[in-house]
């Protein structure tokens, strides 16, 4: 319904408008197959069918696996390099039996006794032997007192084999005020080794590189340790 200028409504319909232009031509039918003179239809080249979904899926899976392998391998290799930088090869210092090793303000000594068994323990197999190790540490100055962290101990053979050595007790004071310079303190250590190799092994001690400063917060000690960046790669090996 159209609206006139006077604001009223008109009920008269619009007259139909005839087009003076000619009618559009109909679309031509698609051309027939192209004939190549001198060639039979069976000789025409045939385009390969497009690859199906399974082929495309296989390609995508392969690409994803390769991308994942690269994504995993790169950080893994970076992590390995970081590990090697943070934990280089050991620097081994070898000492004759009964000798005293002085390292970073602390004197270390080792004494070893062989034992066929321990009180209350089941009998050993014939080819095994206990080593009862007495590890002594003596702070040579106040810096040696600060370096009173628990050491790592193991038993090593020249052919590269090693055995765990467990610290069972110690009398090392926890507080620096009770730790006296020049006073020997002891760790009791046990290790189970092959009987045939008991006389050939060495007791290897890795002194702790951590420095304990009194009245220092844990956060400050961690920041200081990172700043000092002292490696824990020195090992003191005492022959028997």
Q: State both tokens at 2.
A: 């159209």
> CA–CA distance from 150 to each of 112, 153, 212 (Å)?
19, 10, 11
Q: Which helix (H) or strand (E) holds 103?
A: strand 101-103
Of 75, 111, 93, the residue nearest 189 (C-alpha) = 111
Residue 230, C-beta contacts closer than 8 angstroms, at least 6 positions apart: 209
Q: Greater confidence, 102 or 119?
A: 102
Could you say which DSSP state residue 25 is in? P
Which pLDDT belongs to residue 158? 95
Residue 150, C-beta contacts closer than 8 angstroms, at least 6 positions apart: 167, 170, 208
Tell me the per-residue pLDDT of 120-178, one tens digit each, with 9 for 90 and over.
888 889 999 999 999 999 999 999 999 999 999 999 999 999 999 999 999 999 888 99
Q: What is the dihedral of CA 6, 11, 14, 15, to 10 degrees?
A: -120
Tell me the per-residue pLDDT of 181-206, one tens digit each, with 9 for 90 and over.
999 999 999 999 999 999 999 999 99
Tell me the per-residue pLDDT of 213-232, one tens digit each, with 9 for 90 and over.
777 677 766 676 667 667 78
Of 91, 114, 132, 101, the residue nearest 238 (C-alpha) = 101
Query: In DSSP terms, which residues pair with 162 in a beta bridge?
Result: 156
In the predicted model, is pLDDT for residue 98 greater than 50?
yes
SS3 132: strand
Which pLDDT belongs to residue 229? 66
C-alpha radius of gyration, the chain, whole number: 43
In the predicted model, is pLDDT for residue 20 greater than 90?
no
Q: What is the dihedral of CA 36, 37, 38, 41, to 10 degrees?
A: 30
CA atoms in the 13 A half-sphere facing the CB of 198: 19
Which pLDDT belongs to residue 60? 52
Q: Greater confidence, 117 or 66?
A: 117
Q: Greater confidence, 117 or 167?
A: 167
Split at pLDDT 50, 70, 90, the class of 66 is very low
Which pLDDT belongs to residue 11? 44
CA atoms in the 13 A half-sphere facing the CB of 213: 10
Q: State both tokens at 137.
A: 């540490």
In the predicted model, is pLDDT for residue 211 greater than 90?
no
Split at pLDDT 50, 70, 90, the class of 77 is very low
CA atoms in the 13 A half-sphere facing the CB of 229: 4
In the predicted model, is pLDDT for residue 4 greater than 50?
no
Share of the chain above pLDDT 90, in %: 47
Residues 9/3, Cβ–Cβ less than 8 Å: yes
């Amino acid at each position: 319904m159209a609206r006139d200028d006077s604001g009223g409504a008109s009920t008269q319909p619009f007259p139909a408008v005839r087009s003076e232009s000619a009618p559009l031509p109909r679309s031509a039918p698609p051309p027939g197959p192209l004939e190549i003179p001198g060639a039979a239809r069976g000789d025409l080249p045939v385009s390969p069918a497009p690859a199906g979904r399974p082929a495309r899926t296989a390609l995508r899976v392969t690409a994803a696996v390769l991308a994942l392998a690269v994504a995993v391998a790169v950080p893994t290799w970076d992590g390995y390099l970081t590990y090697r930088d943070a934990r280089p090869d050991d620097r081994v210092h070898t000492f004759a039996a009964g000798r005293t090793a002085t390292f970073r303000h602390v004197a270390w000594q080792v004494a070893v006794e062989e034992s066929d068994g321990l009180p209350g323990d089941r009998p050993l197999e014939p080819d095994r032997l206990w080593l009862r190790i007495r590890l002594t540490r003596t702070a040579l100055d106040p810096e040696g007192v600060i370096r009173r962290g628990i050491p790592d101990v193991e038993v090593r053979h020249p052919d590269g084999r090693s055995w765990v050595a467990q610290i069972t007790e110690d009398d090392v004071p926890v507080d620096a005020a009770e730790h006296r310079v020049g006073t020997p303190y002891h760790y009791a250590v046990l290790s189970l080794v092959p009987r045939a190799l008991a006389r050939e092994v060495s007791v290897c001690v890795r002194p702790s590189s951590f420095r304990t400063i009194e009245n220092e917060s844990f956060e400050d000690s961690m920041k200081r340790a990172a700043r000092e960046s002292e490696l824990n790669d020195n090992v003191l090996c005492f022959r028997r």
